[in-house]
Amino acid sequence: MTAMPDRIGAPAVLILLGPPGAGKGTQARKLEQDFGLVQLSTGDLLRAAVAAGTAAGLQAKAVMEAGGLVSDEIVLAILKDRMAAPDTGRGVILDGFPRTAGQAGALDALLAGSGQRVTAAISMEVEDAPMIARVAGRYTCASCGEGYHDEFRQPAKAGVCDRCGGTAFRRRSDDNAETAGARLAAYHAQTAPLIAYYEGRGLLHRVDAMRGIDEVAQALSGIVSRVSG
């Protein structure tokens, strides 16, 4: 593990922005390993809180069972509980929240209450046409989950997983050009104000996410080292 420099004050709070397929999950795992950070995904937090039966989790469960959308207030309450856990002492990576400038303001208020602040917002930027091709060509081994791609990464032996030797593969129903294009358009529309929000506060960092995984990881590592030092 590459140790994060010790510093006086609150743990780092990093926000990872990027559309589906940009590689946020892969890069967040690398940052966790290298800096001792904890990735906090909104979906995972909700499921864990519901399973644990916390007060906020029970509220979320009731809303979801009724077919509603979990409010920002409930998400923030769950996030507050999770960030108080001992394993977040070196800092967190927020993935999936905030999604709007309004949520960003609410997050600022939550963090201020515990003497924290957003350390940096990192935008993993993509080009739409290549990203649609990247997402639409993805498939995985049905046995072990190893990832492949029609164009960029096929098994060494056609029809046989390199990792486990499995011969069954699957594709997500939403991994197609039409859905990927719609998700990208929605992301750009929803996130543009959020990017402007953090850029206006001098907290935004941009990374070209169309580069190779190792190159992107190196760029992210450099940013985290600078802002957390």
Q: Which residues are catalytic?
A: 24, 99, 138, 171, 183
| 123-157 b/e (C-beta count within 10 Å ≥ 16 → b) | bbbbeeeebbbbbbbbbbbeeeebebeeeeeebee
Q: Are 209 and 135 in contact (CB under 8 A)?
A: no
Q: How many residues does the chain have?
A: 229
**Alpha-carbon span 222 to 93, nearest angstrom:** 15
**Alpha-carbon span 78 to 71, nearest angstrom:** 11
Query: What Rg value do the Cα atoms of the chain yield, rounded?
Result: 19
